Amino acid sequence: MLGSKDINIESLDTKKIDGIALLILRVNQYGHTQSFLLDIGWNAIT
């Protein structure tokens, strides 16, 4: 999905806090990525 939008993932990490899974991404186009993730229904948090 992100690659088709010319977004490169520079690093990826996961965490689990109180039963909630977090996916932590470092990308080359921060604003574009956040908008894209929100548009597809993800809770993108900065």
pTM strictly above 0.85? no
**Mode of pairing for the β-strands spanning 20-27 and 9-17:** antiparallel
Domain-located, residue 44:
no
Domain-located, residue 45:
no
DSSP H helical ranges for the chain:
30-39
34 lies in which domain range?
3-39
Domain-located, residue 18:
yes
Domain-located, residue 22:
yes
Domain-located, residue 46:
no
Domain-located, residue 8:
yes
Q: How far is CA 25 from CA 8, 17, 22, 36, in A?
A: 10, 16, 10, 13
The number of distinct structural domains making up the chain is 1
Q: How confident is the model at residue 15 (pLDDT cuts 50, 70, 90)?
A: very high
Q: Which is higher by pLDDT, 1 or 39?
A: 39
- Residue 4: its pLDDT value, please? 82
Q: How confident is the model at residue 43 (pLDDT cuts 50, 70, 90)?
A: confident
